[in-house]
Chain A
Amino acid sequence: MLKGRHLIEPGDFKLEEIESIMELADNIITNPKGYSLVCKGKLLASLFYEPSTRTRFSFEAAMLRLGGEIIGFDDPNNSSVSKGESLGDTIRTIECYSDIAVIRHPREGTARLVSKFAKEMPIINAGDGGHEHPTQTLTDLLTIRKYKGGCDNHVVGVCGDLLFGRTIHSLVKTLNRYQGITFVFISPKELKMPENILNQLNPDTYRETTNLDDVIGELDILYMSRVQRERFVSEEEYLRLKDYYILDKKKMKKAKTDMIVMHPLPRVNEIAIEVDDDPRAVYFKQAKCGMYVRMALIAKLLGAEENND
């Protein structure tokens, strides 16, 4: 039962609960009209303390497509935060008005903190610094399920900024709970997967490399990520690392014919535009999956899985 629960990190939900969200997302994709009013009369608070296009729009589109409505902000300077209000007070106030809240914040652990102040209102973490991004994980899982037939038994290459990539941390920890998953972590030495994530994996199920060319032919899934300018203190270091990996047609020739390329977006240079037409590139389809899976999540957390009328 997911009604009333928070989603702060994917580990908050059992695998069967995650699968139940996937199943509902599949049903919504098949029959969107059947779910167009399930959240009628419900209000989602959209609290974005950090810029976002995809995540915010997909949450807002998801709520609107379920028949619900939205309040919120996408610039903390337009909220009481600018007056020095604590997060706890903000959430306690918002709970007076809203049925569910989505929060993105640059500080790690923020969603967990605010979930302690919300008594009945489910909190969804839409990204907390370099820490977790669980709804991107749900998006990724739905994409893998749709384009690879399921989430078990894959060799998954994860490439780019593995140190600060919150989408990657959430995804790796979750895929690790499925059967027969092995990882190849591809990153510059400066942006390696952090110890606290590696410690959670069986050492036999992953290896680390700096060279994408050497391993691309082994992969069933290649998950590319952006080197994030906003996570660097030194601009010089960012410029040195930002184009470390560029996936292009030449590299794609070495990949399996049924490998899929994923990316949480936005991309900068790490995937050449020439790859977009390759049928194995699913990153824009992935973005669409994001809206459907968020619809399923909101409906589950509000206990509103069927039209009332």
Chain B
Amino acid sequence: MINVSKLKKGIIIDHIEAGHGFEIYKELHLNDIDDVVVLLKNIPSKKMKQKDLIKIETDLPIDMNVLGLIDPNVTINFVKNGEMYKKITLNLPKVVEGIMKCKNPRCITQHEDVKEIKFYLVNEEKKQYRCEYCDAYTTFMGEE
């Protein structure tokens, strides 16, 4: 078992479904920050059998909105002075802006440069969102 030292400040993203850690790493743009980031994958877990985990030693605010889309079951722990001071769990966001792209090939957003497209949650179970422009259903990770 690899040991990673205790975090003094920052964010721990725990209970990530095994295999989703790198996806979260990419979507949070953790490659772009200069702080220490650790991604652990396939950690044995009693509850989940295996899980991924990310530790970020930072003071910077990080937009966690995207996490609800990739893996709404993750837990986020905020750490200050070596102690956890806040813990949050996520739900699928009702509205997503600037993260998703419409998958409908006939949608105008595929042909014009449209920024910050809003998507509205329509089906929590299927993780389906409705495009504000064409109303087509799109999922974040998979097929339409």
| Contact partners of A106 in chain B: CB under 8 A | 106
Q: Is the CB of B137 within 8 A of A107?
A: no
Contact A109:B134 (CB < 8 A) given known A86-B112, A86-B113, A87-B112:
yes
Q: Are B113 and A109 touching (Cβ within 8 A)?
A: no
User: In the complex, A113 Cα to B133 Cα: how many Å?
Assistant: 7
Q: Is A157 an interface residue (CB 8 A)?
A: no
Bound Cα distance from A296 to B101, whole angstroms: 37
* Interface check A130, CB cutoff 8 A: yes
Q: Are B108 and A107 in contact, CB atoms less than 8 angstroms apart?
A: yes
Chain A residues, Cβ within 8 Å of B75: none
B63 to chain A, nearest CB (A): 23
A-B interface pairs (CB < 8 A), number? 52
B111 and A196 contacting across the interface, CB-CB below 8 Å: no
Q: Is there an interface contact between A108 and B106, defined as CB atoms closer than 8 Å?
A: yes
Q: Known interface pairs A113-B133, A131-B134. Does A108 touch B104 (Cβ–Cβ under 8 Å)?
A: yes
Whether a CB of chain A sits under 8 angstroms from the CB of B15 is: no
CB pair B133–A112 under 8 Å, yes or no, is yes
Alpha-carbon distance between A305 and B88 when the two chains are bound, in angstroms: 55
Tell me how far the C-beta of B144 lies from the nearest C-beta in chain A, rounded to whole angstroms. 10
What is the size category of the interface that chain B forms with chain A? 10 to 19
Contact (A109, B137) CB under 8 Å given A87-B112, A130-B106: no
How far is it, in angstroms, between the C-alpha of A131 and the C-alpha of B102 when the chains are bound?
14
Q: Could you say which of B108, B122, B130, B131 has the most chain A C-beta atoms within 10 Å of its C-beta?
A: B108
The answer, yes or no, to whether A277 is at the interface (CB within 8 Å) is: no
Given that A86-B113, A199-B122 are known contacts, is A108 also in contact with B137, CB under 8 Å in the complex? no
Mask of B18-37 contacts with A, CB within 8 angstroms, 1/0:
00000000000000000000
Would you call A249 an interface residue if the criterion is a C-beta within 8 Å of the partner chain's C-beta atoms?
A: no
| Known interface pairs A107-B106, A108-B104, A109-B107; A196-B135 also in contact (CB < 8 Å) | yes
B43 within 8 Å of A (CB atoms): no
- Measuring CB to CB, which residues of chain A are less than 8 angstroms from any residue of chain B? 86-88, 105-110, 112-113, 128-131, 195-196, 199
Closest 8 CB pairs of A and B: A109-B133, A108-B134, A109-B134, A107-B108, A109-B108, A110-B108, A108-B106, A129-B106
Listed in ascending order, the chain B residues whose CB lies under 8 Å from chain A are: 104, 106-114, 122, 130-137
